[in-house]
Amino acid sequence: MMRKLFAWLSPHRPQALPEALWQNTVATLPFLRGLSAEELERLKSLTEQFLAEKSFSAVEPLELSDAICLSIAAQGCLPILNLGLGWYRGWLGIVVYPDEFVIPREVQDEDGVVHRYDEVAAGEAWEGGPLLVSWSDAQLAGEGYNVVIHEFAHKLDMLNGEIDGIPPLHPGMDENVWSRVLLDAYDDLCDRLDAGDECVIDPYAAEDPTEFFAVASEVFFETPDLLNTHYPLLYAQFASFYRQDPLSRMRPRGLLD
Ligand SMILES: [Zn+2]
């Protein structure tokens, strides 16, 4: 059962966010604290446009609140802070679940036999369709696990058709270099997991290169020092693609020393 959102999120009419609500949201998202005043102002403006353009709904028993929509919108807008809202074109809906939810899956094996099963998920991004997210998981943002950034990274990946861990790259970026760096890091992570090593990022990243891109994007924005330490070449590619350097935002706060 879906519920409709508040009037102030009506389509196509960006409205100024109440300042206290915006400040409360920023305070709950530690990875936003390193943004400059100018960047925070731009994030706020982008978030206002996002809220005007996208349509939120919730699955019972969750009831949408301004704070929920704003938190998801602000997190979702961070990856496109220097790219623009056009990077989230082609879809409108965000469905917020109270908790993890079940997605019926269907796969066909090599003998043509169709296997059906249920997968429990914290988020899901449908190509050309809505983005689904668990609110209880979204509230865990801050320590390298960020389901919102994860799903929005999938949306960026989907923008050029194939879902393959390669979003549309900017002029001057080389898709071969991106692929090689991403796959090298992915292979290294899989080797480490096979060897029983402690994993610096969520082992779910080993699922496939697409998931690796989404999980590594979470790490890039939330704990960039980890990504830069273990996969510096990947960090550099992400910095070029997202046109951000989250590591530089950590330094003034002395979080690395
Ligand atoms: Zn994923």
**Measured distance between the N- and C-terminal CA atoms of the chain, rounded to whole angstroms:** 49
pLDDT tens digit string along 119-141? 899 999 998 889 999 999 999 99
103: CA distance to ligand 1 center in Å? Answer: 13
CA distance 167 to 178: 10
Q: 3-class SS at 72?
A: helix
The string of DSSP codes covering 239-255 is HHHHT--HHHHHGGGTT
User: Residue 186 is encoded by which pair of tokens?
Assistant: 């992915």
Counting residues of the chain whose pLDDT is more than 70, the rounded percentage is 93
CA–centroid distance, residue 151 to ligand 1 (Å): 6
* Closest listed residue to residue 32, CA positions, set 46, 18, 50: 46
- If you measure from the C-alpha of residue 149 to the centroid of ligand 1, how many angstroms do you get, rounded to a whole number? 10
- 82: which residues sit within 8 A by CB, 6+ positions away? 242, 243, 244
**C-alpha 154 – ligand 1 centre gap (Å):** 7
Angle, helix 19-28 to helix 37-53, in steps of 10 degrees: 110
Q: What is the pTM of this model?
A: 0.90
Cross-strand partners of 95: 57, 132
Collect residues with CB below 5 Å from ion ligand 1. 211, 214
Instruction: Render pLDDT for 5-45 as a digit per residue (tens, 0 to 9).
Output: 444 455 567 888 899 999 999 999 999 989 999 999 999 99
Query: How many CA atoms within 13 Å lie on the side-chain side of 131?
Result: 27
